[in-house]
Every structure is written in structure tokens, then in C-alpha cells.
A and B are shown apart, each in its own frame.
Chain A
């Protein structure tokens, strides 16, 4: 039981980090900070525009796989993986 409590709080911490990145990339860089970022260019893309239409999606994909592999390790560490 003790182990499962720490497993859960480590999971919550991980989710918090992931959702913070999720928020910053899409709502932060793609929406709220779009104007200053648009001053910077990435080839033909304005950077803010790129985050809104391309960058945020790539980050989402990376985030899920990163979370998924972290959780697999966490499952093993606390011996709660499926048999």
C-alpha cells in the first residue's frame, strides 16, 4: 500500500510536468505569445504560426511516448506492472 501511494504521487508529478509542457507549447507559444514569436522566422514560417500549426502537434506526440516510457519504468520500479 505504502509503495502504491508513492507510485501514485510520482505519476501525478509526471502528469503535471507533461501537462505544463502541453500548455506552454500550444496555449503559450502558439496563442498567447504568438505576436512576439512571429518576429522570429523559421524558414518561411513565422515562429508563432509554426508552433500553432506544426510544432505543438509534434510536441504532443513526443510527450505521450515520453510519458508512456516513463510510466513503464515506474511500473517496474514499484512492481505494479501487469503479470
Chain B
């Protein structure tokens, strides 16, 4: 066994052992512990857990890669996935904590006194969460197959088993404490290689400052200027100004991601775990600190990875790398099919340009950038092993949070709330464990056979959260007259418009060939891509709800009283239903 493999085994299985130990120590005994960890998590702990919950395989593995190739356009992810926490902290989290229940659909039910609203919320939640899980499961499979050289399928089974142990056993309590450990693993795994690379390239150990520094090669040229120069020489768009198809699209994209972030149930749910309203506000702040640690390093990782890649392929102008002398990481990633070279002009050298006719790097998958980065920069093997453990921590922690959101909404909202209201607490606990096991199996199955539409559904997940859940929750708190009927109309038309737009451009139910407008820029509404359409759906939701409010009349007095009660931290909330 070579050194790298040995280190990787130690890092990955060592971290798994820690997760198991924590899960055993923090097993859940009551439904309250299972759903909301007994409401006893401190803001700092909760902030860390939210960080791990939120930062998925997409943040850890894909984001810096996207930034590396999108340049300035990649800012939509940086701002979109962090700005949502400002909305959460001010518009939702404290009031939802005051309400003091277990799930998001439950809040919607109490506030809108409507079973229809609850079911709509459950459906949105399940679609959004399942879409996410497929991505996490794929991340787990890829990380295992690349670093431990086991089959993709076997890697996935190991991942499923690990999540099953600590999520089913510990519920929210186990998940929270495991996520704190996972946060530590993933943030070290992300920042350590970044510090090394920043030091190599600029002599500054802090990546956030390194990105704005001059290169360490004595030329006195700023890193970003050099990068701009290198990429424009090869015909690519300038790194620091490439704006991804126009500022209207970037604007809508960023806003959609922000609203979507604030409306994603597995994140909102975490605010039910803290003991008070004050703690809910604070934990949003801590969460963003922990998230920002990774998100402010990511642009440095992206830019530096791009520069290193360009420099490896073309060390100095006109002196291209000879294919036969390519480094080991190049060969390793060629094996996975994510990196492909084709010698078009037959000179045995590698040309990488923006021109399709002469470009010989026919495939450079964006997702390999973070994982390959340490190897491209010739970092020691233990750093590469750490990155593998970090990627797995990111994927597993998010998968566990999503599974909990799904199982709680099925067992608590559908089964206990609507189908069998007289279920005992013990049975509810058992049923949520069974539902979670089934969800893991479904998620695993979808990870093994990722549906062709997986990539397209991400747009739908954020679209659903932004166009249905967020507006409903916000109006529930800020518009006390908002009635149940009007809110249901709003949610349904918000979702309807968003789905219609996504389907007409990406195919009905994502079946290829059924898109009647085609996924092309010229057909987009004001140039807004389907991924960015959630914000339009949200506006439709707000608009329709307020019109229907005028038509159907305001919510009953006792509901308005309950809303006033949400708004102040003191006193308890009494929920009154008409039936």
C-alpha cells in the first residue's frame, strides 16, 4: 500500500470512528431529542452545526471549481449562499423559534390553519430535500472511488451505512454533535491546502489576502492581473470581469439563491434546536461566521487553482507541456474520465485555449478542481488525504440534515399530524426511525442510478424553496391579516410559475426533448436563466396572496393574536385551531 493510500485510510476511517463514538454518546430517547435535540443546543454549537449542515459536497467540492472557470460570475454563489442568512436572521429564525414546534410544515399549519397548506409544504420540502440528497450521495461515491480506489457502488454503501448509524440512532441530537465534529474536519481540510498554495504563490499565508497580493516569483505582478492576462491570452474571458451572461441574470440568480437559502427547511429546522429567541438570532450570526470561513477562502482556491492549472499546461508562453511528460495527477484524473486530452494538431504537446477547434483539453470537469488542487500544487500526501476526509464530512453532514428534515415531515406532519393523530410518542419515534431508514435506502438507490435530470432539479429545489416556502413563512409573520386561503393560492401559483418556467426550458419532468422553448438564452424571460427564476416565482407568490387576501378577507382574530405573540420573545404561544 502506498503512502497516500495509507494516509487516506487513516483520515477517512479515523473520522468515521469519531462520528460513531459521538452518535453513541448522544443517542436520542424522546421525540423532542430526535427532532430538535431537546432544544438545548448553544448558539455557538448550533452555528457550527448549521455550517456543516449547509456546506454540502456542492460547497466543498464544486463551488471553488465553478468560480475557477466562471471568475467574477461565480460571485452569485458566494453572495447568494451567504446573503440568505441575513434574511433568515431578521425575517424568519427568531419568530419561528418563538413558535417553538418541530417542523416547518407544522408552523405553516398553525399559522394558516389549513391542512392543504401543510401538505403543500410537506411536498415542497420532500422534493427540495431529495434533490439535494442525490447530489450528496454522488459526492460520497465519487470521493470514495477516487481516493480509496473502491468501486463507486461500494463507496456509496459505506457512506449510507455511516449516515444510517448516527442519524437513525441519534436523531437531531446525534446529528448536531456529529456535525460539529464534521465542521472541524471539513474546515481544516479546506483551509490547510489553501494556506499552502497561497504561501507558494504569493508568500502570504492568509488566502483571502493572498488573492489580492503580488506573486512571489519576484515579478511584482498582482496574482489576479496575472490570471487575467493568462486567460485572455488564450482567448478566455477576463477572469475578474466575466459576468455570466449579463447583470440582470446575475442579479436574479443571486437573489434567488438568497431567498432559496432562507427558505430551505433543513436549515430553518436547525433554529428550533436552540433554547431561546435570543439564541436563535445569535446562532444565525455564528453560522455565517463559520460559513464565511470557507466562503471567503473559496474565491482564492478557485483563482489559484486556475492559475496553477494554466501554468502547468503552459509553464511559459509558447512552451506547452509535453503530453508524454504529464504529471501523475493528470494521469489519475484521466482514468476517471473527468479530464480528457486529444492531440488535435499532432505535436504531442498540450494546448488549452478557448477556441473549440484548437483546444486539446476536451474535458476539464469543474468538480475535480478542489480535489486535484493539492496534487497540482505538489502538496504533501497527508494534505491530500485530509481533503478526502473533508469532502466526505461535507457530504455526509448535509445528507444527515436533509434526511432528518424528510423523516420529521413525513412522520410528524403527515402521519401524526394528518393520518393518525393519536399516535403515542414512542410509536412516533419508532416510525420516524423507520421513515429515515427508508429515506436512506431511496437516497442510496438514487445515488446509484442518478436520474439524468439530477443537475436540472437543483434549479427546482431552490426555485421551490424561494417561490413557495420563503414567502409563506415571511407573510405568516409580517402580514398578520394574511389568511390561509390566500397563502395557499400564493404558494401554489408561485410554485406553478416557477415549475412551468423550469420545465419549458429543461423539459417536462426533465425528460429530454419535451422542452417546448429549448434551453437557450434568447428564449429566456428578460434573459433570466431557469436556475435564477425562483425570485420571479416568489414575487408571483406575494402578489397573488395579497390579491386573494382582498378577495377572501383577513385571517380570524385569534390567528392575528397568535401572530402578534410570535413577534415578541416573552410569554408562551398558544395555538388555537377551529377544529
Contact = CB atoms under 8 A, between A and B. Distances in A.
Given A38-B241, A61-B288, A75-B278, A30 B75 contact: yes
Contact of B281 (A19, A35, A56, A68): A68
B277 interface: yes
B299 A80 contact: no
Nearest to A8: B567
B46 interface: no
Contacts of B299: 53-54
Interface stretch (B158-166, B289-297, B399-407, B500-508): B289-297
B213 A80 contact: no
B247 A32 contact: yes
Contacts of B225: 44
Dominant secondary structure of chain B at its interface with chain A = helix
B72 A58 contact: no
Given A31-B251, A43-B222, A72 B212 contact: no
A4 B566 CA distance: 11
A18 B83 CA distance: 12
B6 interface: no
B189 interface: no
A45 B288 contact: no
Interface size class of A (residues with CB under 8 A): 35 or more
B224 A18 contact: no
A50 B85 CA distance: 20
Contacts of B94: 71
B85 A27 contact: no
A78 to B, nearest CB: 8
A80 B86 contact: no
A35 B255 CA distance: 20
A74 to B, nearest CB: 10
Contacts of A46: 224, 240-241
A31 B248 CA distance: 9
Contacts of A57: 78-79, 82, 292, 295-296
B156 interface: no
B570 A81 contact: yes
Contacts of B284: 64, 68
B485 interface: no
B90 A15 contact: yes
The CB with the most chain A CB atoms within 10 A, among B74, B247, B284, B568, is that of B568
Contacts of B212: 42-45, 50
Contacts of B59: none
B569 interface: yes
Interface residues of B, number: 51
B296 A58 contact: yes
B254 A26 contact: yes
Contacts of B354: none
Contacts of B194: none
Interface string B52-88: 0000000000000001000010110011001101110
A46 B284 CA distance: 30
Which of B83, B247, B250 has the most chain A CB atoms inside 10 A of its CB?
B83
A30 B570 contact: no
Interface string B197-231: 00000000000110111100000001111000000
Contact of A44 (B67, B75, B213): B213
A71 B240 CA distance: 38
| Interface-central residue, A46, A60, A71, by most chain B CB under 10 Å | A60
B256 interface: no
A52 B299 CA distance: 10
Contacts of A34: 72, 243, 247
A57 to B, nearest CB: 5
B247 A31 contact: yes
B564 interface: yes
Contacts of B224: 44-46, 49
Contacts of B570: 75, 79-83
B313 interface: no
Interface string B291-316: 01001100100000000000000000
15 contacts: A4-B564, A4-B567, A27-B255, A32-B251, A34-B72, A38-B241, A46-B240, A52-B72, A54-B208, A54-B296, A54-B299, A57-B78, A60-B292, A61-B288, A82-B278
